[in-house]
Amino acid sequence: MSHTAVDVIRAKRDGLRLTDGQVDWVVDAYTRGEVADEQMSALAMAIFLNGMDAAETARWTRAMIASGDVLDLRVDRPTVDKHSTGGVGDKITLPLAPLVAACGAAVPQLSGRGLGHTGGTLDKLESIPGWRAQLSLDEITAQLGSVGAVVCAATTGLAPADRKLYALRDVTGTVEAIPLIASSIMSKKIAEGADALVLDVKVGSGAFMKTEERARALARALVDIGVDHGRKVTALLTDMSVPLGAAVGNAIEVAESVDVLRGGGPEDVVELTVALAREMLALAGIDVDPARVLASGEAYETWARMIRAQGGDPEAELPVAKHTRVLEAAEDGVLTGLDAYAVGVAAWRLGAGRARKEDPVQAGAGVRCLVKPGAAVSAGQPIAELYTDTPEAFDAAFETLRGGVELNGEVTERSALVIDTIRG
Ligand code: URA
């Protein structure tokens, strides 16, 4: 049956379910340029307003996967991947990938760069002297076999329909549609070819999903798509109302991850790393205790091999920002709030993140949170350290950070770091 863009738009505008044929045609025709941007904008808005059910969303995902390459990253051990919806101080991929590899799985982590207030895994790793993000498919497969873990840039041939549609959604107020977010994330992850996937769906001020209700809906949609594609999938719903760990930036997040891999580091980073590792290993069918492997130093050894395999020196000094300033407590009392979004924006303003895709990032910039909510502080006590190479950025960063620090407010019970687990 032949289709037209106007018929598909009208169907969704009027609240109808799109047929498999309509979905396949519109995604393919848009990728080829036959459906114009303004038509896809109208359709994306109709989807934003009227939604797509689980079967439509699964079909949409299938069509986006079919627009590009599908990788086969199978090696001689089970492959298992992890995706986070992004948060402030979320450096978990760094300790997690070598930890799960040290436990016996193969972990391909095709990652991206940061945009806005959440950092990108590649930006963090690029602060390690010599480390290379761009690998060929042969290099990825060889490293997966020899080291067990690869964190590198996603190849450009994966889900090109998503790249085009995501850029359009960004400028048409349609990013927040759950079926479009879920199909965007899963089309790339399924095209990467892992057997199993653990999703870290973050909820709170520093996350993409600000409410638990929306985060749950996204987690369910992601898991349903995975199941529809025959993948083993689990989603953890995790708190992102305060930053993860103390470090928010690039080099400082690498250093904190290395602390975790050496058996130290902040409790929340260790807790989430181990919780995600347990889920990944369960899906991979590997009965090994990740907490024991982390404590044994084996995960650090795998990290060092992973960094060396990509040209980096795991023992090299990490870059340090040229300027440091300290935010002090204005009065005695209890720190009752440290808003993740404010800390993320402050780090971004200091140069750790970028406003446009082509902007550079500063390796040493960022914020170190010295106190977490619930702690007693005295007037003048340092609460956070701010780092940058561009000191003119301090004023705006201080203003943002002060807006996110609450002293002596209402004491609210903090939610657990892992709020819930949603299984496929
Ligand atoms: N991340 C993605 O990859 N896609 C979205 O639509 C939103 C976040």
Domains in the chain and their CATH numbers? 5-51 (1.20.970.10), 80-316 (3.40.1030.10), 323-407 (3.90.1170.30)
Q: What is the pLDDT of residue 110?
A: 92
Q: What is the pLDDT of residue 113?
A: 81
Tell me if 184 CB under 6 Å of ligand 1.
yes
How confident is residue 368, by pLDDT bands cut at 50, 70 and 90? very high
pLDDT tens digits for range 335-357: 999 999 999 999 999 999 987 77
Q: What is the pLDDT of residue 392?
A: 98
Calculate how far, in angstroms, residue 298's C-alpha sits from the geometric centre of ligand 1.
33
What beta strand segments (E) does 280-371 contain?
323-328, 333-338, 366-369
Name the closest-CA residue to atom 1, ligand 1.
185
The percent of residues above 90 in pLDDT, for the chain, comes to 91
156-177: average pLDDT: 92
Query: Which residues are part of the catalytic machinery?
Result: 83, 162, 169, 184, 188
Report the nearest atom of ligand 1 relative to the CA of 185. Answer: 3
Report the nearest atom of ligand 1 relative to the CA of 208. Answer: 8
Q: What is the pLDDT of residue 402?
A: 97
Residue with the bigger pLDDT between 116 and 46: it is: 46
Q: What is the pLDDT of residue 50?
A: 98
- The pTM (predicted TM-score) of the whole model is 0.96
Name the closest-CA residue to atom 2, ligand 1.
185
Tell me if 398 CB under 6 Å of ligand 1.
no
pLDDT tens digits for range 275-319: 999 999 999 999 999 999 999 999 999 999 999 999 999 999 999
Query: Is 254:94 a contact under the CB 8 Å cutoff?
Result: yes
Residue 210 gets which letter from DSSP?
Answer: -
**Per-residue pLDDT for 194 more than 90?**
no
Q: What is the pLDDT of residue 354?
A: 87
How confident is residue 78, by pLDDT bands cut at 50, 70 and 90? very high
Q: What is the pLDDT of residue 319?
A: 98
Dihedral class, residue 45 (left if φ above 0, else alpha if ψ from -120 to 50, else beta): alpha
Name the β-bridge partners of 109. Answer: 151
**Per-residue pLDDT for 273 more than 90?**
yes
- 114: which residues sit within 8 A by CB, 6+ positions away? 120, 123, 353, 354, 361
**Per-residue pLDDT for 40 more than 80?**
yes
Rg over alpha carbons for the chain, rounded to the nearest Å, is: 22
Report the nearest atom of ligand 1 relative to the CA of 169. Answer: 6
* Residue 385 host element (H or E): strand 382-388
Calculate how far, in angstroms, residue 177's C-alpha sits from the geometric centre of ligand 1.
10
When mean pLDDT is compared across 34-43, 54-63, 149-158, the lowest value belongs to: 149-158
Q: What is the pLDDT of residue 129?
A: 97
How confident is residue 370, by pLDDT bands cut at 50, 70 and 90? very high
Q: What is the pLDDT of residue 1?
A: 75
